[in-house]
Amino acid sequence: MVTTRTTSGKRGALTVDSQPQDSDHIDGLKPSDHCAVVGYRGNDPGFGILLTALKTLQHRGQESAGIATFSNSTINVRKGMGLVAEVFNDRYTDSYLTGNVGIGHTRYSTAGTKSMENAGPFLVTNSLGHIAISHNGEITNADPLREEMMKLGLTFLTTSDTEVLLMELARDITNYGVAGGIKMAMDRLKGSYAVTLMINDRLFAIRDPLGIRPLVLGKSDAGYIVASETCALDILGARKIRDIKPGEAVEITDSGPQVLFQKPSPRTAHCMFEYVYFARPDSVIDNVEVFKSRINLGHHLAREYPVEADVVIPVPDSGRAQALGYSQESGIPYSEGLIKNRFSDRTFIMPTQEARKKAVALKLNTIKSEIEGKRVILVDDSIVRGNTMKHIVSLLRSSGAAEVHVRIGSPPIVAPCYFGVDMKTKDQFVATGRTIEEIREEIGADSLGYVSITGLVESIGKPENSLCLGCLTGMYPTQVPSQAKTVRQKELESFTE
Ligand code: SF4
C-alpha cells in the first residue's frame, strides 16, 4: 500500500500492483464491459451498502474500484487498482468514508489504459462545491470536447472520457443550474453514459438518450439505491422501483426520485451484449430477464442449427444458459464436460500462440467420461478472435470426442464497439472477411452455427430498432465520429495478441 492524496485533497490509500482476476474470461479475449456504477442515499452509513453493491457487480470491471461519500461538508474518495475486496481491505475505510450519501465504481481494463488515473469515481471542486461522478459507457466525442475546453483554459489531469464528461457537467451546471446544466451537457455529449453523480450531498442518476448501458433504481429499508444491474438490489434486499429511462436525469431525494427531465429520443439502443454476455444472468435489464433471454438464444440455436449428437456441453461459464436452452429445445442431454479453474491468473497479454494455448490448458480441463466417444455440441455465447474456441475444440478432441459441433449464442462480431466495450479492431475478429465455413475450418469444428440476428432479437424480446447491434452489423445507432474512431482504434491496436 502506498498513501497518496485523492483529488478531494484528503488522504486516501491506493492499492497498487494488484492482479485483477476475471473468472469468466478463459483467455481474456471475450468482449468486456468497462464499468459498474452505484449510488446510495438513505438513513444508514452508505459505505457498507455501496461496498456490497460493488462486490455484486464485480463482473462488470476488475481493474479498479472506488467509493465516494459526503460528510462534514466534503466528498471523500477512496479508490485503487484491483478487485473491490482488494481495494477496500482494511478496517480504516469505513471511518474515513462516512456519510449517508455516496457513489461507487468498478472499472474494466483495456490494454494501454490500465492506470490509477482512470479509476473512478472522479471528483472536481468548483464554486458549487464538490462534484463526483461514476460513469459506465464511452463518450465518443470526448476528444473534440476536451480540446474545446482546453482552448478555454480548462486543465485536465487524465486522458479519460469520464473526466471530460465531469468537466462538461460541472461547467454547465454551474452556468445553467442543475436541470438546465445537465440538459445542456446532454445536448453536447455523444455516446453512452449511465451515470451516478453527486453534487455535495445531492445524488443524481443520468442515462444517455439511447439507453445503451443499463441503470436501475431500487429501494430498501435503508434508502434508495441506484445500480448498473438489479442483482445488486437483490443482494441488498432492495426492491426495484424502475429502470432509469433513456435520456432521463433523476435526483434521488430523501422523499424519493424526482425526475428533472427526460430528453426525447426517436429510438433507444440497448446494448444487445448485456443480454448475451455482460450482465449477470440473475439481473433484469430494461424489464427483460437476462437468464431467460440466454435460454431463448439456446432454443433459437437448436431450431436454426440442429445436429445429431449425444451431449450438449457449455464453455464455462459464458455458454451455460445458452447450452441449457439448446438442450431443452433439442432434447439432447446437457452435461458439464469442461471444468474451469476459477483461480488461475488472467492471460490477457500472452505473447505467443503457444503461451496462450498453455494458459487455456491451465484454466480448463475435461471430464473424460462425458466426452469420450461422444458427438459433442459445444455452446458458447460469442467468438471474438477464435483462438480460445480453437483450443477448446482441440482439447475436446484430445479427450476423445467423436465429433465437435460448435454453436454460438450470438451472431458473428464483425465491427468494433464505440460505446464502452473493449472490442478489437475490425481485422482482429475471426468473422471479419471469413465465411462461416472458413471460421469452422479455422477453429477445427465439425460444424458451426451462429444464432441469426432475427433469433437474437426475438430471444431478447425487444424490437430490433430498440437495440444496439452495431458490432454485428457495422450500423451504429448514433454517429461514430471519425476522430473517436481513430483514437479508439489506436487504443485497441495497442492490444498485444
Ligand atoms: S456495438 Fe455491440 S457491444 Fe457495443 S454497445 Fe452496440 S451492441 Fe453493445
Identify the pLDDT of residue 325.
Answer: 98
Integer Cα distance of 26 and 388 in angstroms: 7
| Cα-to-centroid distance, 177 and ligand 1 (Å) | 33
Question: Which cell is 475 given?
Answer: 450500423
Among 59-63, 351-355, 394-398, 426-430, name the one with the lowest average pLDDT: 351-355
For residue 212 and ligand 1, the question of a CB distance below 6 A is answered with: yes
pLDDT in tens, 267-281: 999 999 999 999 999
- Of 68, 94, 92, nearest in space to 8 by CA: 68
For residue 271 and ligand 1, the question of a CB distance below 6 A is answered with: yes
Q: What is the DSSP secondary structure assignment for residue 59, as one 8-state letter?
A: G
Q: What is the DSSP secondary structure assignment for residue 490, as one 8-state letter?
A: H
Q: Which band of pLDDT confidence, cut at 50, 70 and 90, is reported for residue 95?
A: confident
Identify the pLDDT of residue 22.
Answer: 38
- Of 314, 244, 235, nearest in space to 280 by CA: 235
- Of 207, 190, 185, 189, nearest in space to 286 by CA: 207
In this prediction, residues 441-456 reach a mean pLDDT of 97
Identify the pLDDT of residue 424.
Answer: 57
Q: What is the pTM of this model?
A: 0.89
In order of 78, 95, 261, 444, the CA distances from 15 in angstroms are 10, 18, 39, 43
Q: Assess whether pLDDT exceeds 60 at residue 5.
A: no
Q: Assess whether pLDDT exceeds 80 at residue 31.
A: no
Q: Which band of pLDDT confidence, cut at 50, 70 and 90, is reported for residue 479?
A: confident
Q: Judge whether 449 and 304 are in contact, CB under 8 Å.
A: yes
Identify the pLDDT of residue 9.
Answer: 33
pLDDT in tens, 307-327: 999 999 999 989 999 999 999
Q: What atom of ligand 1 comes closest to residue 212's alpha carbon?
A: 5
- Of 375, 388, 386, nearest in space to 429 by CA: 386
Name which residue sits closest to atom 5 of ligand 1, judged by CA.
271
In this prediction, residues 18-47 reach a mean pLDDT of 68
For residue 471 and ligand 1, the question of a CB distance below 6 A is answered with: yes
Identify the pLDDT of residue 389.
Answer: 94
Q: Assess whether pLDDT exceeds 50 at residue 197.
A: yes
Name the average pLDDT for the chain.
87
Identify the pLDDT of residue 430.
Answer: 87
Question: Which cell is 80 given?
Answer: 485503487
| Cα-to-centroid distance, 87 and ligand 1 (Å) | 29
Residue 229's CB: how many other CB atoms inside 10 A?
A: 26
Q: What's the one-letter identity of residue 372?
A: E
| Cα-to-centroid distance, 495 and ligand 1 (Å) | 19
For residue 137 and ligand 1, the question of a CB distance below 6 A is answered with: no
- Those residues with Cβ within 8 angstroms of residue 424's Cβ, 6 or more apart along the chain or in another chain: 384, 385, 416, 492, 495
- Those residues with Cβ within 8 angstroms of residue 148's Cβ, 6 or more apart along the chain or in another chain: none
CATH numbers and ranges of domains, the chain = 2-266 (3.60.20.10), 289-462 (3.40.50.2020)
Mutate to test the pocket of ligand 1, among 60, 293, 384, 419 (most ligand atoms within 8 A of CB): 419
Q: Catalytic annotation on 35?
A: yes
Among 189-193, 370-374, 386-390, 445-449, name the one with the lowest average pLDDT: 386-390
Q: Assess whether pLDDT exceeds 90 at residue 52.
A: yes
Q: Assess whether pLDDT exceeds 60 at residue 347.
A: no
Q: Assess whether pLDDT exceeds 80 at residue 495.
A: no
Q: What atom of ligand 1 comes closest to residue 470's alpha carbon?
A: 1
Q: Judge whether 230 and 238 are in contact, CB under 8 Å.
A: no
| % residues pLDDT > 90 (the chain) | 75
